[in-house]
C-alpha cells in the first residue's frame, strides 16, 4: 500500500494531539510524519507508534515533499501558511474556520457529502465541531423525511477553545474549591467554573454569535441547500470534553418515531443511545450518541432529540483524517 508524507500544524494543541493519536489508531499509511508548533514547543518530543518525533518550528522549506498537511492552528496561521502548502503540491485539510465558506473550497462531513472532496483546489475545510455533531444526528432523519428547519441549542465543552480552555476551567475550579477569591478569566468572557455562558465568539450585528452563524452557513453548504432554516443558540458549559446539543427538527412529512429510530440505528457514525447520552459517556470515541427522541406534543411534523459527541475527535481530528482517507481511496492522491 502506498504511504504518505504527512504534517500536522499545531501538533501540540488539543486537536493536533488528538490527530496524532487517531492517525496511529487508524493505522493511516504514513511514510513520514512532521510535527509543527510554535517556537515555544520546539524540542518537545511526541511519541507516534514506536518513534519519537521532535516538534519543529515552521520554516520556508517545511512543506516540501509533503502529501497532506493537517491544519490544527487558528485562522490567521491557517491563512498565512495555506498558499505555501498548496504551492508545494500538498493538500491542506484545515480545522480552522478560515476557508470553510469559500465557494471553491469543499466543506466535508464524510458520512454526508463525501463526493464534494473531488472538487478541491488544494484546500479542504473541516466543518465547525458543533455543526459536525448536530448535522450527523440530523442527516439520517433528513434522508427519510426532509428537514425544513433546525432549532438547536448547544452545550459546548471548554476544550472546544483548545488547551487553554481546559486550563482556565481547572484553575477556576481549584480556586473556588479552596476558597480562593482571585478568580481570573481570559479565554472565556466570564467565569466558566460553576457557571455557563451563552456566548461563543463575538456577536454579529444580527445578535447571533459567530459560532451560531457558523452552524447556519456551514450546514447549508454541506447539505447544498440555501433554503434550509437554522436557528442556533451556542452555550459554553463547564464540561472538559464532548459537546451536547438539544435539537428540534421541523420535517416535511408526519413524524414516525420508529422509522426515525431505525434509520439512526443503521447510520454509520451514529449510536442510538436511549434514554440519553451524557458528555462523559461519549469521551474519546468517534460516534455521535443520540437519545431523548420524542415527537412535539403539538405538532406532528416536529421531532426533538438530544445528542452528544467528542468534538476533539469526530468534531475535528477524526473528521479531518476521514477526509484524508477519502482522498486516498479516491486515488486522487
Ligand atoms: N478544540 C476543538 O474542539 C476544536 C474543534 C474544531 C476545530 N478546532 C479548530 O482547530 C484549531 C486548533 O484548535 P485547538 O483547540 O487545538 O487549539 P490549541 O489547543 O490552542 O492549539 C493551538 C496549536 O497551534 C500552535 N501554534 C500557536 N502559534 C503557532 C505558531 N506561531 N506557529 C505554529 N504553531 C502555532 C500551538 O503550538 P504551541 O503549543 O507551541 O503554542 C498549538 O499546537 C483552531 O482553528 C480551532 O478553531 C478546534
Residue nearest atom 23 of ligand 1, based on CA coordinates: 10
Report the separation in Å between the CA atom of 122 and the middle of ligand 1, taken as the mean of its atom positions: 21
CA 307 to chain centre: 14
To the nearest 10°, report the CA torsion of 203, 208, 214, 217.
-130
Which residue has cell 413524524?
Answer: 255
pLDDT per residue as tens digits for the range 198-215: 999 999 999 999 999 999
Task: Indicate whether residue 12 lines ligand 1 (CB < 6 A).
Answer: yes
In order of their start, the domains of the chain are 4-126+316-329 (3.40.50.720), 131-310 (3.30.360.10)
pLDDT per residue as tens digits for the range 5-15: 999 999 999 99
Active site residue 234: no
Active site residue 129: yes
Point out the least confidently predicted range of 217-221, 234-238, 328-332: 328-332
Report the separation in Å between the CA atom of 96 and the middle of ligand 1, taken as the mean of its atom positions: 9
Task: Indicate whether residue 201 lines ligand 1 (CB < 6 A).
Answer: no
Is residue 177 scored above 80 in pLDDT?
Answer: yes
pTM, entire model: 0.97
Q: Three-state SS across 5-27?
A: EEEEECCCCHHHHHHHHHHHHCC
Cβ distance 232 to 210 under 8 Å?
A: no
272, β-bridge pairs:
290
Cα R_g (the chain), whole angstroms: 20
Report the separation in Å between the CA atom of 39 and the middle of ligand 1, taken as the mean of its atom positions: 13
Q: Among residues 61, 55, 68, 52, which one has the least CA distance to residue 5?
A: 68
Catalytic annotation, pick one of 138, 142, 232, 243:
243
Is residue 187 scored above 90 in pLDDT?
Answer: yes
| Residue 122 DSSP one-character state | S
pLDDT score of 331: 66
Helices 14-25 & 318-329 angle (0-180, nearest 10) = 50
Task: Indicate whether residue 311 lines ligand 1 (CB < 6 A).
Answer: yes
Report the separation in Å between the CA atom of 140 and the middle of ligand 1, taken as the mean of its atom positions: 31
pLDDT per residue as tens digits for the range 127-172: 999 999 999 999 999 999 999 999 999 999 999 999 999 999 999 9
Amino acid at each position: 500500500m502506498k504511504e504518505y508524507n504527512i504534517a500536522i500544524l499545531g501538533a501540540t494543541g488539543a486537536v493536533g494531539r488528538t490527530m496524532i493519536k487517531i492517525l496511529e489508531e487508524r493505522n493511516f499509511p504514513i511514510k513520514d510524519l512532521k510535527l509543527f508548533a510554535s517556537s515555544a514547543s520546539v524540542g518537545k518530543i511526541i511519541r507516534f507508534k514506536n518513534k519519537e518525533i521532535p516538534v519543529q518550528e515552521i520554516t520556508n522549506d517545511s512543506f516540501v515533499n509533503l502529501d497532506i498537511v493537517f491544519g490544527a492552528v487558528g485562522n490567521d496561521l491557517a491563512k498565512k501558511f495555506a498558499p505555501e502548502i498548496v504551492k508545494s503540491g500538498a493538500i491542506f485539510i484545515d480545522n480552522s474556520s478560515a476557508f470553510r465558506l469559500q465557494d471553491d473550497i469543499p466543506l466535508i462531513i464524510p458520512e454526508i457529502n463525501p463526493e464534494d472532496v473531488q472538487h478541491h483546489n488544494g484546500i479542504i475545510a473541516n466543518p465547525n465541531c458543533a455543526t459536525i455533531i448536530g448535522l450527523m444526528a440530523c442527516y439520517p432523519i433528513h434522508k427519510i423525511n426532509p428537514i425544513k428547519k433546525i432549532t438547536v441549542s448547544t452545550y459546548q465543552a471548554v476544550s472546544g477553545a483548545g488547551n487553554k480552555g481546559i486550563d482556565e476551567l481547572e484553575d477556576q475550579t481549584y480556586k473556588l474549591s479552596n476558597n480562593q477569591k482571585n478568580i481570573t478569566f481570559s479565554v472565556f468572557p466570564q467565569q466558566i467554573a460553576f457557571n455557563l455562558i451563552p456566548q461563543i465568539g463575538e456577536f454579529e450585528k444580527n445578535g447571533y454569535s459567530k459560532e451560531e452563524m457558523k452552524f447556519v452557513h456551514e450546514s447549508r453548504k454541506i447539505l447544498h441547500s440555501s433554503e434550509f432554516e437554522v436557528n442556533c443558540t451556542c452555550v459554553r458549559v463547564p464540561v472538559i470534553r464532548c459537546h451536547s446539543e438539544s435539537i428540534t427538527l421541523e420535517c416535511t412529512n408526519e413524524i414516525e418515531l420508529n422509522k426515525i429510530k431505525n434509520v439512526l440505528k443503521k447510520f454509520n457514525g451514529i449510536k442510538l443511545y436511549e434514554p440519553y447520552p451524557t458528555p462523559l459517556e461519549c469521551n474519546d470515541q468517534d460516534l455521535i450518541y443520540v437519545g431523548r427522541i420524542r415527537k412535539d406534543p403539538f405538532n406532528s411534523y416536529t421531532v426533538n432529540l438530544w445528542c452528544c459527541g467528542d468534538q476533539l475527535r469526530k468534531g475535528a481530528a477524526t473528521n479531518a483524517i476521514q477526509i484524508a482517507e477519502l482522498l486516498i481511496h479516491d486515488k486522487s492522491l
